[in-house]
Amino acid sequence: MTIPEGIITPSGRASLPKGAVMFLILLIVAAVGGWWLAGLLGAGVGVGLALLAYSVATQLWALLQESKVFQFIVAGALVILSVVTFAVR
pLDDT in tens, 22-49: 888 999 999 999 999 999 999 999 999 9
Confidence (pTM): 0.48
d(CA 82, CA 79) in angstroms, rounded, equals: 5
How many residues in the chain?
Answer: 89
Stretch 4-21: mean pLDDT, rounded? Answer: 66
For residue 77, pLDDT over 70 is answered with: yes
Highest average pLDDT, of 8-12, 15-19, 69-73, comes from 69-73
Amino acid 47 reads V
Q: What DSSP designation does 14 have?
A: B
